[in-house]
Chain A
Amino acid sequence: MSNEILENLKKAILEYESEKAANLAREALEKKIDPAKALNVMTEAVRQVGDGFGRGELWLPDLVGAADAMQSAMPIIQKEIERKGMKVETLGVVVVGTVFGDIHSIGKTMVCTLLAAEGFTVYDLGVNVTAEKFIEAVKKYKADILAMSALMTMTAPEQRKVIAILKKENLRDKVKVMVGGGSLTEEFAKNIGADGYDPTAPGGAKLARRLLNK
């Protein structure tokens, strides 16, 4: 029975069915299934979609569809894991968002999905995220990595501002900062004091591994 629920949860993500995935996550907890096991099958599903995307067999709507389904089930499972005080196996905690003044979400969502597929725990703060919200999330989730996206040249300097606040709050040594987005360059990333930059979403996920030596 529990295996069947977990199989269906995985299938719901592979078929991009958000509502079904959330319902199955709830059902799993009602049936006392280990939330860590549920988390594993969800990560496995997203990894499969991420691999398919990497091989060129699946496309962006597939990646985003799987990400949405995972996102709808994830908070339910995560809440239970926190309630039980369980330790989850993870490559690291990544806080992700598009900076204040910028509402471009596609690249950021791709990075989130591929990070989750790699085995990171991802907190997606969305778009138009203020520096204060980034800092708050870094503290709250004890982030190993802060990943910021900015598509426009006008909003890219916002990343510099967040890094400055991290320094001011003595958090800079505790978290790696990676940046990305259409208008960014390696030089700009170095200039603002980021730890890493990659121009592509799959490269971003690999960069996160390198930053944490995983």
Chain B
Amino acid sequence: MAMKGFTRKFKPLEIITEEQVEAIHRGILDVLQTTGVRFESKRALKLFEKNDCQVDYDNMRVKFPPGLVEECLRRCPSSFRVKAREPKNDLIIGGNTVYFVASPGMQTVDLDTWEPRPATKKEYYDTVKIMDALPNLHLFCCYTPYFGFEGIPEVMKIPEGLAAKIRNSNKFTWSCFSNDCEIFNIKMVKAVGTETIILAMMASPPLTYYNSAIECAFRTLEADLPIGVDTGTVFGATGPATIAGSLVTYTAELVAGIVLIQLIKPGTRTFIAGFPHPQNMRSGSPAFGDIGISLFDVAFNQICRKYEIPCRNTASAYSSSKKMDFQCGYERGIPAILSAVSGAQFIHVHGGMYGELAHHPIQDILDDDVAGMIGRFIEGVEVSDETLAIDLIEKVGPIPGFYLNKEHTRKWWRKEQFVPEVADRLTYPEWINSGKKTAFDYAKKRMEEILATHKVDPPLTNSQEEDIERILKEAREYYRKKGLITDEEWETYKKVLR
């Protein structure tokens, strides 16, 4: 048993030809061989040198022989299982299975002013609980729902966030790294008998890996965990302004990361991710919600299919809108469906608002309908003797024939239709008489219902809870000793912990 997700039952959408995929692949190999990638780690440089890469130690630049690159790509499994706390939430990643992932946001949003503000500890834990209850949200991303909560020091945001997700959900979660926090993340997931995918090999475009990412990769592989390779090109800023050019640098960064991983530990369960965006040429921010991201993602998915490596898309993760409005809906829905029909295995949909700057549980609930609707679409049209219903059509015949009272209808309609949880589908009279409610109003009500009734099943055992608390305590002491939690921060933090 594992989390089913959704299964795409038709040929994936292609936006570039096979020859164009080959041209991009040749560009990637050429960039890796001639330009190379900077790896700020002696340990990694030595390993590359031992495997016949050309290494310039002064500039920390590695140039890769194409044969080695292609060999390492082949070492990645095309499909693999990762373990959640409950087998029903394990993920089988690869092929035509699509999982919807939450989108992180730095803060929450005040619903009166729509301005962002830090989430409290209670809001953090409540939002995790709501996300646990949503049927079309299959797993958590590392910073979801929020980067942290009020009163905790920066260095404790990731470990405290992971602990909240372990405590208030048994869905699978990714995690990430900063200031060695992966040490504690690994301990926590092991303590509750689950795995995590650490987005460890995170490139800094263009064509650079910092030591912290590389050290995290070594730690992840020592712990025998699956790994995510990630990058985040901004077209026209940290990559070429052209989509094809940025596909080359972006994928070259990911492939260089894969080479390191597969040299350290061949066969490691690997997926590739990224955060591509055109540059907003007015503000300097990434252009969230831009259709250019989907153009990029759909072509990227074709390259990933060639490499037979599972991948993630982020185009639908964020809108540029600051409200849960029309713009937010189209900037979320259109990219999400394009990613789903073009073959991404992970798609960010739930909860994120404007860039990575906010998240809200009502948005999670609204997005769960978006994910459900798209999931239903990719499951496609079933054509069989039973669904063709020729015998039934013969039996019913012309008017006054009628299908509503037939067993076939009772059996099939719920399979064929997607029934949204919070969309307004009332008639005008019903809508007027029931207070002219919108999807937002229904989502708010559903949030209250989930909070009042949902239970994490099963909850952590007492000994697992003790382990989590012990590991967090260890992390706090580690950062206190390193001077990364100041006395002032510690005093505030202690109040939150009470």
Contact = CB atoms under 8 A, between A and B. Distances in A.
Contacts of B280: 60
A154 B179 contact: yes
Contacts of B148: 153
A200 B285 CA distance: 11
Contact of A201 (B155, B237, B284): B284
Contacts of A183: 106
B281 A153 contact: no
B106 A60 contact: no
Interface string A137-166: 000000000000000011011001000000
A106 interface: yes
Interface in B343-401: 355, 357
Contact of A154 (B178, B283, B357): B178
A85 interface: no
Contact of A59 (B179, B282, B355): B282
B233 interface: no
A110 B157 contact: no
Contact of A157 (B106, B154, B279): B154
A106 B237 contact: yes
B204 interface: yes
A124 to B, nearest CB: 15
A61 B178 contact: no
A153 B284 contact: no
A196 interface: no
B204 A103 contact: yes
B107 to A, nearest CB: 9
B204 A60 contact: no
A183 B106 CA distance: 8
A52 interface: no
Interface residues of A, number: 17
A27 B284 CA distance: 34
A61 B179 contact: no
A107 B155 CA distance: 24
Interface in A42-75: 56, 59-61
A107 B281 CA distance: 11
Interface in B385-428: none
Contact of A110 (B155, B284, B355, B357): B284
Contact of B281 (A59, A154, A182): A59
Nearest to B234: A106
B147 interface: yes
A61 B237 CA distance: 9
B147 A153 contact: yes
A37 B199 CA distance: 53
**Most chain B Cβ neighbours within 10 Å, of A61, A156, A200:** A61
Contacts of B284: 60, 106-107, 110, 201
Contacts of A56: 282
Contact of A156 (B154, B179, B282, B283): B154
Contacts of B292: none
B154 A153 contact: yes
Contact of B236 (A61, A107, A160): A61
Nearest to A107: B284
Contact of B285 (A61, A160, A182): A182
B493 to A, nearest CB: 14
Contacts of A110: 284
Interface in B105-122: 106
Contacts of B179: 154
B154 A60 contact: no
Contacts of B355: 182
7 contacts: A59-B282, A60-B284, A106-B237, A153-B106, A153-B154, A153-B157, A182-B355
Report, nearest first, the 9 A-B pairs whose CB atoms are least far apart: A59-B281, A106-B284, A60-B281, A154-B178, A107-B284, A157-B154, A110-B284, A153-B147, A154-B154
Interface of B: 106, 147-148, 154-155, 157, 178-179, 204, 236-237, 279-285, 355, 357, 486
